[in-house]
Structure 1
Amino acid sequence: MPASLKIPVLPSVKAFREWRQSLDNRSIGFVPTMGALHDGHMKLVDRSLSENSLTVVSIFVNPAQFAPHEDLSSYPRTFDGDMRRIHEAVGRDSIDSSETPKCAVFLPTVEDMYPSGIVQNIEDQKGTFVQVKGYEEQMEGKSRPKFFRGVATIVTKLFSVVQPTRAYFGQKDIQQGLLLRRMVRDLLISHPLPENLIIVPTQREKEDFLALSSRNAYLTSIERPFAPTLYQALTAGRQVWEEISGSGSREGVVAAAREVIKRRQEEAIQAGVEMRFDYVEVNDPDTFDVVNWRRKERPEGQPVIISGALWIGRTRLIDNLLSGDTKEIFNQL
Structure 2
Amino acid sequence: MHIFNEKAPLIAHLANSKNRNATIGFVPTMGALHQGHLSLMQQSISENAITVVSIFVNPTQFNNAEDLLKYPRTLEQDVQKIALLNPDIIIFAPTVTAIYDHEISSQEFDFDGLEHQMEGKFRPGHFDGVGTVVKKLFEIVTPTKAYFGEKDFQQLQIIKKMVAKNHLPVKVVGCAIYREPSGLAMSSRNERLTPTEREKAANIYQILLKAKEAFRTQSPQEVSQLVEHTLANHPDFELEYFQIAEEETLLPCLTKKETTKYRAFIALFINKIRLIDTLSLN
2:237 corresponds, among 262, 275, 278, to 275
* 1:306 alignment partner in structure 2: 264
Q: Is the 8 A contact 1:30 1:55 kept in 2?
A: yes
8 Å contact from structure 2 (residues 40, 148) kept in 1: yes
Q: 1:259 Cα shift?
A: 2.0
CA distance in 2, matches of 1:212, 1:114: 29
Partner of 2:192: 218
Structure 1 CA distance, aligned partners of 2:55 and 2:143? 16
Alignment-derived partner of residue 264 in structure 1: 234
Distance 2:13 2:42 in 1: 22
SS in 1 for 2:147: strand
2:225 counterpart residue number: 255
Alignment partner, residue 40 of structure 1:
36
Aligned residue in 1 for 2:141: 162
Give 1:84 shift: 1.3
Equivalent position SS for 1:14: helix
Aligned to 2:278: 320
Contact 1:132 1:152 in 2 (8 A): no
Candidates 45, 48, 63, aligned match of 1:52: 48
Structure 1 residues 147, 249: CA separation in 2 closer, same or farther (over 3 Å shift)?
same
Residue of structure 2 in register with 1:12 after alignment: 6
Assess if the C-alpha contact under 8 Å between 1:280 and 1:307 holds in 2: yes
**Bigger radius of gyration:** 1
CA RMSD of superposed structures (Å): 1.5
Residues 1-333 of structure 1 mapped to structure 2, 5 A cutoff: 7-23=1-17, 24-90=20-86, 102-118=88-104, 125=105, 128-190=107-169, 192=170, 196-206=171-181, 208-242=182-216, 246=217, 248-265=218-235, 274-294=236-256, 298-300=257-259, 302-324=260-282
How many residues end up aligned between the 2 structures? 280
Deviation at 1:33, TM superposition (A): 0.1
In 2, Cα distance between the equivalents of 1:139 and 1:171? 15
The residue type paired with residue 210 of structure 1 is: L
Over the matched positions of the two proteins, sequence identity in percent amounts to 37
Whichever residue aligns with residue 66 of structure 1, its letter is F
Going by fraction, where is helix more abundant, 1 or 2? 2
Distance change in 2, residues 1:155/1:163 (3 Å) = same
Q: Which AA in structure 2 matches 1:176?
A: Q
Map Cα deviations across residues 178-220 of structure 1 (whole Å, 9 max, x no partner): 1111111111111x0xxx21100000011x1000000001112
Q: 1:310·1:316 contact (CA, 8 Å) conserved in 2?
A: yes
2:180 counterpart letter in structure 1: E
CA distance in 2, matches of 1:188, 1:144: 27
Tell me the TM-score normalized by structure 1.
0.81
Aligned AA (2:226): A
Which secondary structure state, in structure 2, belongs to the residue aligned with residue 293 of structure 1?
A: coil
**Structure 1 unmatched ranges of 5 or more:** 1-6, 92-101, 119-124, 266-273, 325-333
Structure 2 unaligned runs (5+)? Answer: none
